[in-house]
Structure 1
């Protein structure tokens, strides 16, 4: 660690076991809010499909799988991705409206997520054997950026509806207050906090502030009259809530249930697999980030160039395997985490050994929560708090799509690009689903993504026709 007087650990360096456990605990706490929150939000569309203990355990196993696939050369943590929330919401909403069981819905999401994982693996293999430019031709910045943007904005109506919580034409102003305080806390802390571990957990702090305010103001307002007695009733409801067991979300339960609802599987596939288009550039950005940080530290140590930037193919294959592993263990599909990249940059700890221990820690915590039946403690997060966090996170996803287009220097004055962006934006945001038959719909995001790709290829073909 102290070679040439420089503090920090490179991917192939190992701190002592005691230090590694402490570092792993920090990385675990950094990823935990987002990994758990993604599952909680996806449980909030009228049907609970995810087990919180399973989601945590799945992230740990997926992380270890990712490290093994990449030969421990890319120090990243794999967790639940917010990019999938909008697509999962479409599937859950359809399942609720058509009285499908939660096991059928989760099984359909699982099957679609596995296909999405194979798409990521395919993209990695394409880059490995044909070069990155082949991916860029099919998925240029104006497509991936627009898909990311509409993913972030697609649930804007749901979020604002949850915040306003209108009942009998009356806005729930205490719900609005709690949601805004949660949002502002996160926003202010991301601006004010610049260094140290605390700068990596503004979402967690925002959750604590929001939950505290909820139990002081919002929860007591839920009865016929404002009273702290309503708090006891609310907490008793959490205690009595049905538990989603880890074994209830395993593939041998959910896949057979999904096979009885083929229409639901089709909807899930069309809604979910295009999400891989948006996570590929996100994953590439994380690889470039980690390469920069690792090699800056290596230069300070007068060490080698780790060439992580050249491992995008391995990273995408690892991400795809992570998706498949995670959903087969009952968790949400995901991606490697920018939060953990930032935590590594702050602490100068890029040891893959530490991330391996972090994965083990997640597995142990997930099992412990299941054994103690503490998974439903996630219900402590009130609806206004979840919606306040969603206001920040969904908006951030949309902004990342814009940032991606800026980074790729998308020429928004090019008629081809305007047409493709117009199609993706209007179709993706203009309709949640398109009825095809009485029992089958096409999700708007899926139609926007696939249609945008095909339209881009078509217009490129016309633009390449040589004039006589």
Structure 2
């Protein structure tokens, strides 16, 4: 019997438009910091690639596309993924050495991300027709977990060098202090805050604290020592620095530029396609998480469960389509956001209708930001703040890889598993790129992923020949 007095909305339920708008605004604010931050970080490797307004707009369109593909059965928001940052940094590093343009880099990343999206769609179709066990055979936990771990750790050197900000005067200790304050604020809040909506936004709160400390200490000390005039210079720089325009990141501009540097396309593909492997377990985790919350609410309402955990194939296909939509609109490739899942759990609002409105709000916000053209607002986040957040986020990605291996009960005493994990870890972290020729390099992450998969298949074959079951 259905219980009407239970507060909350299931995927196929619609709150009134007023309530839906409030819920949608909240979901928009939850996703905004991470979506913008991913673009900001990737703009900090030497070339300005992404338009912030395009990143926001693309996330909104991709979310609506995801909801349509999944027939509004999986209430999730699609935003920029941090998993791609390491791969993009490799492409940018090579492009800078070769004096390639931002447009050619973004076009190469676009092409590679489309291929990654198609791989996600292929994985979804494979699960749909043959079952999840087939994916696990090719991509067991000790491979996907290790790939996720090295993705998180691959930028550790870059983050630490930016935090220390060493110059002829030595270490920039103010930069170090601001970065650590930002990091520690996030860390403390994630530990102390356990309930309520505020517990779901520790990164946003840490960012706010970091900005305040930056403006008190770091900004006025830019230049030849402390001076209040440094404030004027810094904010004038924000206003006068024009952000990347949406029209400049559209595919008809970037793809054309990419084919002027075909080597860059190959490098981007090898660097980026392993990310699809790492995001499959992430998608599965989000599906299982949302399934628990939705079925719990359905049970309270006296309804049958929605069985969202059985829709991993649909979710992966939606993810792949979301990737393709986002990059074709000039935004970063992405993933479904756990932050929005948590916000839904707190508010007990899982209405897909609300997420559609959230997508519309993102589209409107992206267009308004572009039309107003009020400077590069991303510079409000000072470099020490961005690095402090990166220190936390990249570490979290690495730890998620370890958590995945624990969840999959990976036998780290199995010689075969040791060999595969060791290869992926040492190659993936030991070299960022392998120069094949003057004009072409192999990204370390790509070599580690491909080599690990091939090595695992080979070791499975020879152990099977001996009559030993493969893991």
Could you state the TM-score of these two structures normalised by the residue count of structure 1? 0.98
Q: Please state how far the C-alpha of 1:222 moved relative to its aligned partner.
A: 1.3
Aligned 8 A contact 2:239 2:375 in 1: no
Identify the range of structure 1 (390-399 vs 186-195) with the bigger mean alpha-carbon deviation: 186-195
Aligned 8 A contact 1:416 1:459 in 2: yes
Tell me the distance in 1 between the aligned counterparts of 2:120 and 2:260.
27
Equivalent residues in 2 for 1:403-414 (5 A)? 403-414=403-414
Tell me the distance in 1 between the aligned counterparts of 2:190 and 2:48.
31
Aligned to 2:356: 356
Aligned to 1:251: 251
Q: Please state how far the C-alpha of 1:467 moved relative to its aligned partner.
A: 5.9
Aligned 8 A contact 1:53 1:375 in 2: no
Tell me the distance in 2 between the aligned counterparts of 1:143 and 1:421.
7
Aligned to 1:241: 241
Aligned to 2:90: 90
Aligned to 1:166: 166
Q: Please state how far the C-alpha of 1:219 moved relative to its aligned partner.
A: 1.2
Tell me the distance in 1 between the aligned counterparts of 2:428 and 2:319.
25
Aligned 8 A contact 1:159 1:387 in 2: yes
Tell me the distance in 2 between the aligned counterparts of 1:18 and 1:450.
50
Q: Please state how far the C-alpha of 1:225 moved relative to its aligned partner.
A: 2.2
Aligned to 1:69: 69
CA spacing shift, 1:414–1:17, aligned 2, 3 Å: same
Aligned to 2:223: 223
Aligned 8 A contact 2:238 2:375 in 1: no
Aligned to 1:7: 7
In the TM superposition, structure 1's runs of 4+ consecutive aligned residues that sit over 4 Å from their partners are none
Aligned 8 A contact 1:369 1:375 in 2: no
SS in 2 for 1:88: helix
Aligned to 1:442: 442
Could you state the TM-score of these two structures normalised by the residue count of structure 2? 0.98
Aligned to 1:176: 176
Aligned 8 A contact 2:241 2:375 in 1: no
Q: Please state how far the C-alpha of 1:201 moved relative to its aligned partner.
A: 1.3
Tell me the distance in 1 between the aligned counterparts of 2:144 and 2:374.
38
Equivalent residues in 2 for 1:274-285 (5 A)? 274-285=274-285
CA spacing shift, 1:467–1:319, aligned 2, 3 Å: closer
Aligned to 1:416: 416
Equivalent residues in 2 for 1:323-334 (5 A)? 323-334=323-334
Equivalent residues in 2 for 1:30-429 (5 A)? 30-168=30-168, 170-374=170-374, 376-429=376-429
Q: Please state how far the C-alpha of 1:169 moved relative to its aligned partner.
A: 5.7
Q: Please state how far the C-alpha of 1:278 moved relative to its aligned partner.
A: 0.3
Q: Deviations over 1:259-301 (max 9, x none)?
A: 1110000000000011000001000110001011100000011
Question: Structure 1 regions of 5+ residues with no counterpart?
Answer: none
SS in 1 for 2:441: strand
Tell me the distance in 1 between the aligned counterparts of 2:287 and 2:402.
19
| Aligned residue pairs, count | 467
Aligned 8 A contact 2:223 2:230 in 1: yes
